[in-house]
Chains A and B, each alone.
Chain A
Amino acid sequence: MGLLGNAAIVGAAQYKPEKYQTAPQMFHLEQVADLANQALQDAGLGLNELDGLVISGPQFHEASIFVPAMAAEYLGIEVNFAEVVDLGGCTSVGMIWRAAAAIELGLCQAVLCVIPARMAPLAPNEDPAWMAEAMRYGGHSTAFGAPEAEFDIPYGHVGQNSGYAMIAQRYAAKYGYDPVAMAKIAVDQRTNAQYHPDAIFKGKTLTVEEVLASKKVADPLHVLEIVMPVAGGAAVIVTSKEVATRSKNRPAFVTGFGERLSYKSPSYAQEMTVTPLAQAAKQAFTMAGLKPSDMQAAQIYDCYTITVLLSLEDAGFCPKGEGMKFVRDHDLTWQGDFPLNTHGGQLSFGQSASAGGMSQVIEAFHQISGRAEGRQIKDCDNVFVSGTGGVMSEQGALILQGG
């Protein structure tokens, strides 16, 4: 069951992460076309070869319905396959496997997966309140009848910070907690960011002491263990094997994937410390016929350090409860024995809304295709990628392999 490994990432583009205040404003359709153009050039393919489109629907500025048709029309293409993915931080991983599956089913040959994540200019009388409202509630629904509006928000259970903090606190009670190991996750990734020209924190190093001295937002999480939102945007081209062979780059074949949605509010998780990634990663490895130790790098969604820790455990890189030991025992930098988030992760590269997770996909592709420049790891054939949406509520895994 699953993918045959006949679809591959052959091109990618992403905007340099920038602070919202200083980033250019562009209509989302404009970003789609611009990112598509850059990704196609990266792949060495033409617009006329695109026949599939996967796009992020929620908060698309110019439309809330018929988004793929509008985007295809703007691009000037016709497609055999269109999909909107709404999985928060798991959107990117969800896009790639859907594109790969559509290709393997023979629906299409070349799919654009695109997430515009710069601000669009507002109309003269447009009220940005809806956006402010959506951001204020951190993805919680405030609609009448939504369980979150009724049973989360009145108690102050709002946003991601406290949810992840509660997961971390539960983990601490079950397995113990080493703040130094948790800080090291952020620090090693910051080291990696020094080798990526576009990283938002390039030129700014970080120490464990600085992480531990930073403000506690919600116990036990410090502010330097939490991503900073930035403007950005990303696009990836996934193609059939035939098209991939004509591409400029060494393709990264999608040989395994998994996806799991477990809940919306983490309070209702069967067990908060066991993430949906446990199932998703197991399926991905089984599909690819590989195991965690076969990976030369891991690009793990990192909205928080605790996300990385639990993902390392549940993906099978170390036994449950031994994540902190694993972090202490390994050098997680690109030159180390366990290269993790070699671009700096979203913690240090930048998290551009739901395009943030695509930075992990693109870094895996760059490592496999040998284009990771000053941070290139040797002999990189197999990379594990994860995505996480909500408060660890929706997760996905990809196994990418060099062809």
Chain B
Amino acid sequence: MMSSFKPLPLATKISTPFWQALKEQSIQLQQCNSCDGWVFFPRNHCSHCLAHDLTWKPVSGEATLYTYTVARVPTMAEFSDESPQILAVVTLKEGVRMNTTLVGLQEEDIKVGMHLKPVFDKVDAKGNTLLRFTGVDSDLSVLEYQDPLVNLPKNSQGQVQVPINNLTALNALVTDDFSPWSEPLTVDQGLINAFADLSGDDYWIHTDPEKAAKESPFGTTIAHGSLVQVLQSRLPLTLPYEIVGFNTMVNYGSDRLRFPTPVPAGAKIQSRARVKSVASTHKGLQLILEVHIHLVDNDRPSVINELVIFYR
């Protein structure tokens, strides 16, 4: 499976100070206490003398352009929104070189050896920041994160309409925050009995309230896990988005289905969901919608269902 999201740096224990500093609009490099050499990329040792004695220090970010290219074919599909990419290698005043891209410059004004200054580019809502560069005369010093969903139209329900081909916006749907709760629904014994008839699963723990009162660890009958799962259809979700521009949408099943907490007969359930991941695959756009069904006022979900939905 191919991820369709732009790859972000995954900081290691060694490199965390560098990325953390960028979030705070500061550039920190390691300097060797033994030979005074500057080190980039971050390491646990000095790349000049091998001493394991480095200190993080703030630097100005003043740089010169070592070389660059205008990539007219995106180096990965994920970068097509910034095409052409002006890829560059810069030499910082301290002598270290780093990979970056140039922003805020016209192609014809770019010259190897030109002086550059840093631009802190906040690339996501979490404040992750990449270090880009621009000309010294440019006003640019910070690029604020632009939520790619902000400028998209909304439908009559107030849902943002995300085109199937807008990978950046689609990926902005991925979130740790769940949608608001659905309206509640009572799972009464009648529903449970109807499901027992339909499925053939008439095990006493679901269908015999008297025996369940005496022998069940729950003191009552409980709904079938599969029943609670299918009741999702009666718990309409209020998702903040509508994906538009596709030909077909297919429910491909579930990556993960769990029933962690039983639902006693007569209990009220409600549900909520979040987009867990979006990826483009050979089968089309794969969206994983993580749906949770809870007993009302219970923190533990009764159903966890990671629905795999393909759009193409």
Contact = CB atoms under 8 A, between A and B. Distances in A.
Contacts of B15: 150
A218 B73 CA distance: 7
Given A169-B67, A217-B72, A219-B72, A162 B10 contact: no
A167 B71 contact: no
A132 B2 contact: yes
A260 B187 CA distance: 72
A158 interface: yes
Interface stretch (B96-104, B156-164, B233-241): B96-104
Interface in A167-213: 167-170, 172-173
Interface string B69-87: 1111111100100100101
Interface residues of A, number: 40
Given A136-B2, A149-B10, A173 B112 contact: yes
B228 interface: no
A265 B99 contact: yes
Contact of A267 (B7, B69, B97, B101): B97
A186 B279 CA distance: 39
B69 A162 contact: yes
Contact of B72 (A147, A153, A170, A216): A216
Interface in A126-174: 129, 132-133, 136, 142, 144-145, 147, 149-159, 161-162, 165-170, 172-173
Given A129-B2, A166-B87, A267-B98, A142 B7 contact: yes
A157 B76 contact: no
Given A129-B2, A155-B130, A156-B101, A150 B76 contact: no
A133 B1 CA distance: 8
A371 interface: no
Interface string B137-171: 00000000000000000000000000000000000
Contacts of A267: 66, 89, 97-99
Contacts of B75: 156-159, 161-162
Given A136-B2, A156-B76, A218-B72, A144 B100 contact: no
Given A133-B2, A169-B112, A218 B99 contact: no
Contact of B1 (A129, A167, A217): A129
12 contacts: A133-B2, A150-B15, A150-B41, A151-B99, A154-B7, A156-B79, A156-B85, A157-B87, A159-B76, A161-B71, A217-B71, A272-B89
The 7 A-B residue pairs whose C-beta atoms are closest, nearest first, are A173-B112, A170-B67, A165-B69, A158-B75, A267-B89, A219-B70, A218-B69
Interface of A: 129, 132-133, 136, 142, 144-145, 147, 149-159, 161-162, 165-170, 172-173, 215-220, 265-268, 272
